[in-house]
Amino acid sequence: MNLEGKQQIWNDYQKEIADDHYFYARSCIRQTFFPGSEWAYLDIMKNKLGKDVVDDPRHTTCTGIGYHSDIVPAETIMTVVARHFALMTEAGYENMTPSCITSFGIYTEILETWEHHPEIEEKIREYLWKATKREFNKPKNLAHTSDIIYKFRNEIATQSKYKLVNVHTGRPLRGVDHIGCHYSKMFPTKGIGGAEFPAVLSGLIYAWGGDVIDYPERRHCCGFGFRQYLVMANRGYSVANSKKKFESMQPYQPDFIVANCPGCAMFMDKWQYTISEMEGTTYGQDGYGIPVLTYEELSALVLGYDPWEIGLQMHQVSVEPLLDKMGIPYDPEAKYKNVRGENIGAPKCPTYLRVANL
């Protein structure tokens, strides 16, 4: 693949990202499945990059999952989102940074809708007022938190303790960048690098010494969908999509997958177990599967955070092979212990998928 050609395209898809003072919007899926991930992000922002980020406990779900599965009407989700904007406005912030790709997509879509249909915006302001007596300003800048990390990738690189390089061979680690569909497929201009060759995650990998794999099904959806996954009868279709991606990336021998959408990360991590149980197939090396990380986790690893502190033991696919390659020390004994040193219990060993130290 011709990198110059790609860079040419990237030049067309650059977006403005605020420098500081962010209002943080958490993600339902991320905080459930990767709780250490959001903590790591906030810690990096505040303590490593010295940025001002507000994490308001009154902030709720954006109801995107309900919206995309036809349960929550458009007016409702708009009003919920309007409330988030109100919280941001009340806190005195203008830069909205959602952690979830679904939320990011929803926010973008709502702002675009209001842009073209001011009457709808008016109506929503009315609804919000009636319901909560709140008012809001629209965010001046909307960026996904992966955009923020992308913006500061070089700062992170300068502070990094570990590189995305195999310490044993010196070879750059091969990473798969998986972009959430709602990040740029709906509005290509709102994503760094556009929809065809997004740069937001590959930018991180390159900045931190790794190499990016361009496999044929790179653009393909992880299969999460909403209706697909939520309805059990459709779930086979959901897994089939992940499988298609794994089969396509496998020949390139990826060392890890990084995703900016919490749903994708969760799916690509958990489905590897499902596929192994259903078909006896495992991907990656030696039957361990391909480790799947969120970009926050990847940043935290690069910056030298303790793997168990950022919650990597919550992953289905063992991250230890990746940690070994990067040369990150870890205490195998501490994997299934909480901060107080109490045992949190180890998962049952899968039939086919290998789990480190189990």
Considering only 26-34, 110-118, 228-236, 291-299, which stretch makes contact with other proteins by CB under 8 A?
228-236
If one asks whether residue 1 binds other proteins (CB under 8 A), the answer comes out as yes
CA torsion 114-119-121-126 (nearest 10°) is: -170
Which amino acid does the sequence have at 150?
Answer: Y
Give the HSE-up count for residue 243: Cα atoms under 13 Å, Cβ half-sphere: 16
Number of Cβ atoms within 10 Å of the Cβ of 249: 23
How distant is the alpha carbon of residue 37 from its chain centre? 9
Q: Is 11 in the site for other proteins (CB under 8 A)?
A: no
- Assess 216 for contact with other proteins (CB under 8 A): yes
Check residue 270 for interaction with other proteins (CB under 8 A).
Answer: no
Which of the ranges 24-32, 217-225, 300-308, 322-330 carries the binding residues for other proteins, by CB under 8 A?
Answer: 217-225
When binding is defined by CB under 8 A, the residue of 16, 19, 279, 331 that contacts other proteins is 279
Give the contact letters, 177-206, x = binds to other proteins (CB under 8 A), - = no.
Answer: -----------------xxxx---------
Which residue is it, tokens 């001002």? 52
Residue 108 and residue 190 in contact, taking contact as beta carbons nearer than 8 Å: yes
Stretch binding other proteins (CB under 8 A), from 5-13, 59-67, 175-183, 338-346: 5-13
Nearer residue to other proteins within complex by CB, 229 or 288: 229
Residue that the structure tokens 């107080």 belong to: 340
Shortest spacing between CB 232 and other proteins, in angstroms? 5
* Cβ proximity to other proteins, 139 vs 210, nearer residue: 210
User: Closest by alpha carbon to 258, among 226, 314, 218, 310?
Assistant: 218
Of 136-144, 162-170, 274-282, 315-323, the segment contacting other proteins by CB under 8 A is 274-282
Tokens (6 digits) for 63: 């109801």
Closest contact distance (angstroms) between CB of 218 and other proteins is 6
Phi-psi region of 341 (alpha: psi -120 to 50; beta: other; left: phi over 0): left
Task: Give 233 or 349: the residue with its C-beta nearer to other proteins.
Answer: 233
Least separation in angstroms between CB 250 and other proteins: 11
Among 74, 131, 278, 346, binds other proteins (CB under 8 A): 278
Q: Where are the alpha helices (DSSP H) in the chain?
A: 3-12, 28-33, 35-43, 64-68, 74-90, 101-116, 118-132, 145-151, 153-159, 181-184, 200-207, 227-230, 235-249, 262-279, 295-303, 320-326
Q: What angle do CA 68, 141, 302 make, to 5 degrees?
A: 85
User: What does DSSP assign to residue 292?
Assistant: E
274 binds other proteins (CB under 8 A): yes
User: What percent of the residues of the chain are helix, what percent strand, and what percent coil, each to the nearest 5?
Assistant: 50, 10, 40
Closer CB to other proteins, 115 or 196, in the complex: 196
User: Quick one: 121 or 255, whose CB is closer to other proteins?
Assistant: 255
- Contact between 64 and 109 under an 8 Å Cβ cutoff? The reply is no
- Binding other proteins (rule: CB under 8 A), the pick from 275, 301, 303, 326 is 275
Least distance in Å: CB of 219 to other proteins?
6
Number of residues that bind other proteins (CB under 8 A): 35
> Smallest gap, in angstroms, from Cβ of residue 239 to other proteins?
5
- Residue 5 interacts with other proteins (CB under 8 A)? yes
Among 162, 252, 330, 336, binds other proteins (CB under 8 A): 252
Residues that bind other proteins (CB under 8 A): 1-2, 4-6, 8-9, 194-197, 214-219, 232-237, 239-240, 243-244, 251-252, 274-275, 277-280
